[in-house]
Amino acid sequence: MPVEIGPFDPSSASKAELAEYYAVSTAVMAVDRPDVSPLTLAEFVEAIKQPRTVLGPIRRWAARDAGRIVGTVSVTQPEHENRHLTIVQVTVLPERWRQGLGTALLRGVLPDVRAEGRTVVMGYGVKADASGEAWARKLGFVRTHGYVKQTLKLADVDPALWQCPVADGFRVESWTGAAPEALLVEYARARTAITDAPTGESTLEFEDWTPERVRTHEADLRTRGVLNRVTVAVHEDSGRVAGLTELEVPEGGRRRAIQQDTAVMADFRGHGLGLAIKGATLRWLTTAHPEVEEILTQTAHDNAPMIRVNHALGYTSTGTAVELEVGVAELAKRLEA
């Protein structure tokens, strides 16, 4: 019986199907990210039942062999910026690698990609120089950007590293959930500072942040059950938000948090603001959420200053991931050959 590929809806899947889907993910993680503690089955299921990511809605498919799930693919279609992109993630049980399953999964979702009118397919977070990248390159994907994967194991780090005073002339402010109205406009403006971060040859565009966009983002996180902690450095004389950092803590007692964007406005760099605001966030996290054991983040491989900041706080670099892109027309030609 040939492998069957069809849509996978986590909200209606059986417990057995969810367990099989989970087994594929954890088996690949064990190969690609052995340094990271796997999510529990309950945590994983809660995560994949979310119908959207921060970029847009996500849809999933599964490959079944004799009824058993042996591979998966997810497709995210960005809604605002990046409407030229489809972001895909393909996972196949390691013992089934090099049997054409990944290619079959891509072939199975190609009609949906075409129907959306997207022109570029992106593979995001692919382990650099490993079998997944080699497979993608055979299908025409090219490497456009790279990231250093970094992990902070909280129990292994001396909290004294996080005692980072803010520079004279600045103050630190923090909030959970929603930015205060008094800082909303400045906060939105500061979020745009990350648009000058290194991006290599990637066609992925950063968000155009406005106060309205911030409020939409905050509401989306609440809907997805994510607690977001924001810490900013405010320039006392001008009242400008000079730097910001955002940490996502999934609700429900999960052991892992995700360090998201950190940005410092160009004219305020060189004052140690990134170190100060990240240190303040870590002090809050260990007090407010002692159940969190590790923080994951990634930093552009050529953003040496931020990599140094993370190392100073106790993060360790564990590998490199890459973005890969191919035109939809080129991918279709190779898949249909």
For position 1, what pLDDT does the model report?
59
Per-residue pLDDT tens digits for 240-269: 999 999 999 987 668 899 999 999 998 999
User: Are 241 and 189 contacting, i.e. CB atoms less than 8 angstroms apart?
Assistant: yes
- State the virtual CA torsion across 23, 26, 31, 37 in degrees, nearest 10: -150
Q: Which residue has the higher pLDDT, 54 or 172?
A: 172
C-alpha distances in Å from residue 70, one per residue of 94, 171, 189, 295: 9, 52, 45, 29
Q: How distant is the alpha carbon of residue 150 from its chain centre?
A: 12
Q: No. of H helices and E strands in the chain? A: 9, 12
Question: Can you list the alpha helix ranges (DSSP code H) found in the chain?
Answer: 15-32, 41-48, 101-115, 131-138, 181-191, 211-223, 273-288, 304-312, 328-336
Per-residue pLDDT tens digits for 69-80: 999 999 999 988
For position 196, what pLDDT does the model report?
60
| Backbone dihedral angles phi then psi of residue 289, each to the nearest 5 degrees | -140, 70
Question: In this structure, which amino acid lies at residue 9?
Answer: D
For position 80, what pLDDT does the model report?
81
> How many angstroms separate the CA atoms of 255 and 154, rounded?
11
Tell whether the model's pLDDT for residue 302 goes beyond 60: yes
Using alpha carbons, select from 225, 245, 229 the residue that is nearest to residue 289.
229
DSSP for residue 52: B
> How many angstroms separate the CA atoms of 210 and 201, rounded?
26
C-alpha distances in Å from residue 324, one per residue of 90, 101, 127, 175, 191: 13, 19, 11, 35, 25
Q: Is the pTM of this model over 0.75?
A: yes
Per-residue pLDDT tens digits for 98-109: 999 999 999 999
For position 10, what pLDDT does the model report?
96
For position 75, what pLDDT does the model report?
96
Q: How distant is the alpha carbon of residue 118 from its chain centre?
A: 21
> How many angstroms separate the CA atoms of 174 and 180, rounded?
9
DSSP 150-162: EEEEGGGS-GGGG
| Backbone dihedral angles phi then psi of residue 97, each to the nearest 5 degrees | -65, 155
Mean of per-residue pLDDT scores for the chain:
92
For position 194, what pLDDT does the model report?
66
* The token pair that represents 77 in the structure block: 């279609």
DSSP for residue 270: T
- State the virtual CA torsion across 271, 279, 185, 84 in degrees, nearest 10: 100
First to last CA, the chain: 23
| Backbone dihedral angles phi then psi of residue 220, each to the nearest 5 degrees | -65, -40
> How many angstroms separate the CA atoms of 172 and 185, rounded?
17
Q: What are residue 172's DSSP bridge partners?
A: 233
Length of the chain measured in residues = 337
For position 198, what pLDDT does the model report?
57
